[in-house]
A and B are shown apart, each in its own frame.
Chain A
Amino acid sequence: MADHGMKLTLKIWRQKGPKDAGKLVDYPVTDVSPDMSFLEMLDVLNEQLVMKGEEPVAFDHDCREGICGMCSLYINGRAHGPQTGITTCQLHMRSFNDGDTIYIEPWRAEAFPVIKDLVVDRSAFDRIIQAGGYISVNTGAAQDANCLPVNKKDADAAFSAAMCIGCGACVATCKNASAMLFVSAKVSQLALLPQGRIEAEERVLNMVQQMDVEGFGNCTNTGACEVECPKGISLQNIARLNREYLSAALMSEK
């Protein structure tokens, strides 16, 4: 394997803490196998840094299979790296070439402050969900599941929206740092289902309000978010949110 190993230069954002200034630092790496995942390549670097007595690079990750939404690297100017439709942890080194220089940075958005190196604080997303991203049903109060048929088309559309993993790539990639794709995915999922309709108006108003409070920017329909979203969350959700929001705002004015 050694003779197939790639040589790369990594330029990684290092930042000690939320209040410290950060900078890009160069790290040469060798012997990178194309079968490694991107994060495994960083594991190898970190092992070497620890052995050299340096602090390893902090980055968020957990499931390493594209579903928990924890990993969040901005690679060569793109959220989750050069491939579309995948998360950082699903990116493999076979997507790079021997001799490449790779820039690795954290998500950048006012609403996502850096904690350390490549790790950011995305708790704003949790607070948006807390503002209304749920159906108010208590445990034990539900009727038989099949008493509530749902048109398959709507159910499938709700599922497509529900696939959002809350990674924040949409925010990181948007020049306005807008969270519209994320918010619209949840609004849509619940608005498409009969059980979600009951609170639909309040939900959209409250979630959008919280989004503004958190300091996310406005959506100007650039569409960059849809391109970088690893789960293919569609812009149609934003359109649906806008419709829901308008009609809810009208209703609440009455």
Chain B
Amino acid sequence: MTVSEQYFPQEPTAPKVVTSTIPGPESQRKIKELGQVFDERHAYFVADYTKSTGNYIVDVDGNVLLDVYAQIASIPLGYNNPALREVAKSDRMIRAIIDRPAQGNFPGADLAEIAGDVLKAAPKGQKFLWSGLCGADANELAFKAAFMYYQSQKRGYNAEFSKDEQTSVMANEAPGAPELAILSFENAFHGRLFASASVTRSKPIHKLDLPAFKWPKAQFPAYQYPLGDHEDANKKEDARCLAIVEDIFQNWHAPIAGVIIEPIQSEGGDNHASASFFQGLRDITLKYKSLLIIDEVQTGVGATGAFWGHEKFNLSPAADIVTFSKKFQSAGYFYNNPQITPNQPYRQFNTWCGDPARMILAGAIAKEIVKNDLVRKTSDVGDYLYAELAKLAAKYPKDMQNLRGEKCATFIAWTLESGAKRNQFLADMKMAGVNIGGCAEASVRLRPTLTFEEKHADILVKAIDAVLSKK
């Protein structure tokens, strides 16, 4: 029995589409109803999660779709995973839900164990944990840590704040509120609150009309595919982009306290960069005493062939801060330098400081992944799927350009000719029984769960073939 068969004996064996449109009539009615009170206009359909199982999402019209989008890459182990359902019913979870602690002031007796279970999955070299609530929050907390660290290195970790700092900060002015920056990369996506939106460089619509910090952006390597045929050109591209980073460090008008980067730029189009590019970046951050923040919100938790996407780069020394959310269900960051913990209490602080209910779930997710060897299995399934998709790409070269994600497990994407064609493809795929997502202007990305297996891959490949062959 495969893992998905063990988890989900009742998982459907094939998608089933029973309406002539998706959203179907009942979804449409429910979207309208929800729309009276909640901005519902992005809804693709209304789901019935009680009926969804494993890799299949069921909507209120009874459509059963193979889900390779998985709540924008955030369902780790399939719908209604029985192991997670057990955890959800445990006393510990009930307690965490009804007596939600302000964890900074009144941590619960089981926090050491709960945090310990999360830390068991920490990237190599990371020792400490701070918890937040979503990806944007995790990144912004990491920025705060970076800014406080930067100033504390300048001032001395135990030094007092100056009078000037204390008065100016209440007017939001330097030196108390210093002009410091976080460097990010073109096409990056790190969230949509004010600081995270300032480092997000994906699309105008994510940023328009919001005041932003004047922070610098560098360029992320844009490779030529297939990689094997363009090694030299891509190496030059790495060097070009690293030179830009170095130039910004030398010339930006304000100090750069941290650099944030995704191991694979996800919302921005599944853009990959080489291990040597990342090591080059690590070297530059060390040289300029800036913290390297790796945003693993979308790449983390097993989907790229390692538990954390950047582990494949074998960075030396390890990254300074690694942020997570999405598939881990809990959010926050890992770090390894004790001086990244602020020198005084109540600096990195808020009411809840995370959510033990979600941390308990994260610990359980990590445990299941290890127990069932799901990182390796997902990697194998990914290799199988990539090979099948490569065949399709040869058959439909225009509709499957720049197939990427080889040896990155199921973290696979490709590009169509235009945004309109991509959107049509996504809609057609739904009617063919597959819920699938896009990214950037004209790309398609696969983000199945870690219980996605060869049999699911076969269904996906067949559906793609069917949709593309009709065009």
- Determine if chain A interacts with chain B: no
The chain B residues found within 8 Å of chain A, CB to CB, are: none
The chain A residues found within 8 Å of chain B, CB to CB, are: none
